[in-house]
Amino acid sequence: MSDMDDADEAREIGFNHPDHCGMFSDDGNRAAARIIAEMKEETKAKDSDQVIYDRLTAKMNAVEPAHGEIWDTEVREIIISRLVRAWGRELTPYF
């Protein structure tokens, strides 16, 4: 389940919007924001970095056919930074 509601889905995602993730379109930014929301919900404190990255990689691979820029460095860094900030922990870089 995502943190986004129907009103969020209809809003334009500009550069300063909290869901802006460096994607090329609003749909892409919404997809990246959904990944972040899902990862926040699904990740447990005891999950290892590798488990987290495996889950995140699967989610990003699922988005890639429609939004290939999901693997761009800026997008990855935004996603990871928002997750570590939310979790209050660091991740060993695997990407």
Domain presence at residue 34? yes
Q: Calculate mean pLDDT across residues 71-89.
A: 94
Write out pLDDT tens, residues 47-71: 999 999 999 999 999 999 999 999 9
Q: Taking 60 as the threshold, does the pLDDT of residue 8 lie above it?
A: no
36: amino acid identity, one letter: I
Q: Taking 90 as the threshold, does the pLDDT of residue 92 lie above it?
A: no
Domain presence at residue 15? no
Q: Round to whole Å and give the CA distance between 9 and 63.
A: 17
Q: ∠ CA(40), CA(73), CA(18), 5° rounding?
A: 45
Report how far Cα 61 is from the mean position of its chain's Cα atoms: 12
Domain presence at residue 40? yes
Domain presence at residue 68? yes
Domain presence at residue 83? yes
pTM of the model: 0.81
Q: Round to whole Å and give the CA distance between 80 and 86.
A: 10
For residue 36, the enclosing domain spans 20-87
Q: What is the pLDDT of residue 19?
A: 77
Domain presence at residue 30? yes
Domain presence at residue 7? no
Domain presence at residue 11? no
Q: How many domains does the chain have?
A: 1
CB-based contact 34:26 (threshold 8 Å): no
